[in-house]
Homo-oligomer: A and B are copies of this chain.
Amino acid sequence: MAIKRENGRKNDPQRTREDILDVATEEFSTYGLAGGRVDAIAEKTRTSKRMIYYYFGSKEDLYLAVLERAYRKIRTLEADLQLSNLPPEQALRVLISTTFEHDQANPDFVRLVSIENIHHASHMLRSEEIRDLNVSVIETIAAILERGVAQGVFTRKADPLDIHMLISAFCFFRVSNRYTFGTIFRRDLSEPATMERHKTMIADAVIGYLQGKAG
């Protein structure tokens, strides 16, 4: 008895899901998990609150879906880099540049990770998908460091994970803490000149460290 609509704009579950995730990403990223409101998400969606529970079951599961999608995006980004053909120092500079620009361009992602840390990464822990992630970056860095040491351009044998941390910390902090930092020091960290200076600084610091005397 049900009449099926034949036009192109018929029910599109996949699109509805994506729409909800888009809105939820902004809501949670802005107000946090506890501070985010399902009602607010529903209002900004082209669908209803009922559908949110229909698709995602609960607020927490919706949040997890948001987090998973955010992480999925970076994996694709990093996998696309072709660094093995470049000289070690240049390869590292490209990788640092990419991380820097990614965090700068994706404050939502940075905020979601901050929020997840407030919650002791308990949701991430439930997600196999996220846990398996990011490991490839370490392998990429490890390969670059090995080549660099072999060629003699890097004199220090460093732990790839430590180097990843040194890079991530700076790129992430600039975005995650820009509000308190900006308030205390009255400086806008997103100004082009400041950004360029910072990007060069972290690259120089990392390269400089690897070219220092071996510990």
- Tell me, yes or no, whether A56 is within 8 Å of chain B by CB: no
Name A138's contact: one of B118, B130, B185, B215 (CB within 8 Å): B185
A133 and B212 within 8 A (CB):
no
Q: Indicate with 1 or 0, residue by residue over A166-177, a CB within 8 angstroms of chain B CB atoms.
A: 101110111011
- CB <8 Å contact, A174 and B165: yes
CB-CB nearest in chain B for A173: B169
Tell me if B185 and A121 are in contact (CB < 8 A): no
Report if A53 contacts B (CB, 8 A).
Answer: no
Q: How distant is the Cα of A206 from the Cα of B124 in the complex, in angstroms?
A: 33
- Taking a contact as CB atoms under 8 Å apart, the answer to whether B212 and A204 are in contact is yes
Question: What mask results when residues 141 to 159 of chain A are scored 1 for a CB within 8 Å of chain B, else 0?
Answer: 0000000000000000011
B114 and A176 contact, CB distance less than 8 A: yes
Give, as a whole number of angstroms, the nearest-CB distance from A17 to chain B. Answer: 25
The reply to whether B118 and A162 form a contact with Cβ atoms under 8 Å apart is no
A170:B170 contact, CB within 8 angstroms: yes
Once the chains bind, are A118 and B115 in contact (CB under 8 Å)? yes
Task: Name 20 interchain pairs, CB-CB below 8 A, sorted by A.
Answer: A32-B33, A32-B34, A32-B35, A34-B35, A35-B35, A131-B183, A131-B184, A161-B185, A165-B173, A166-B170, A169-B169, A169-B173, A173-B173, A200-B215, A205-B205, A205-B206, A208-B208, A208-B209, A208-B211, A208-B212
- A-B pairs with lowest CB-CB distance, top 5: A34-B35, A169-B173, A121-B179, A208-B208, A34-B34
